[in-house]
Amino acid sequence: MDEKEYSNVYAIPPNYTDSGKLLGGMLETRNTIETGLLLLLVGYPELMWLPAQAAVKVVVMTVTLLPLGVVGLMGIGGDSLMRFAAHMIMFFARRRKLHFRRIGYRYDKDKDKTPRGRRPKKKRRKI
């Protein structure tokens, strides 16, 4: 009885989940659109309003727009730039300052009631 062993394990190709991306899965659609808008917003004023010769404009645009485009296409921490900016705005809007009392430390009663950053004035002794 010769029974052949069959393997049900298949290799999944690396581009299996690249259906929502551009250029063969290299660029995400959201990052590409945001980067295009960002480059238009920054590049148009540089091109039209910069009072310089064409060679200087090319150098300035290369120095500013190329790194901006690369960062925009890559994103920050896996997020697009607008999503990252929204996360940062929500973080700063919702953050709270926490202060925990230390165990074993004796707080002054006057010091406890003063707002943070304001210190009570020291009383001067009259001589």
Tens place of pLDDT per residue across the chain (127 aa): 567 777 788 887 776 766 777 776 678 889 999 999 999 999 999 999 999 999 999 999 999 999 999 999 999 988 999 999 999 999 999 988 777 767 767 766 655 454 555 556 666 777 6
Q: What is the pLDDT of residue 112?
A: 47
Contact 30, 37 (CB under 8 A): no
Joined tokens for residue 1: 């009885």
> Which residues, including other chains, have CB under 8 Å from residue 47's CB and lie 6 or more apart?
57, 61
Could you give the dihedral angle defined by the CA atoms of residues 72, 78, 80 and 82, in that order, rounded to the nearest 10 degrees? Answer: -120
Q: What is the pLDDT of residue 72?
A: 94
Contact 38, 68 (CB under 8 A): yes
Query: Can you tell me the distance from the alpha carbon of 41 to that of 80, in angstroms, rounded to the nearest whole number?
Result: 17
Q: What is the pLDDT of residue 110?
A: 57
Q: What is the pLDDT of residue 103?
A: 72
Phi, psi for residue 2 in degrees, rounded to 5: -100, 105
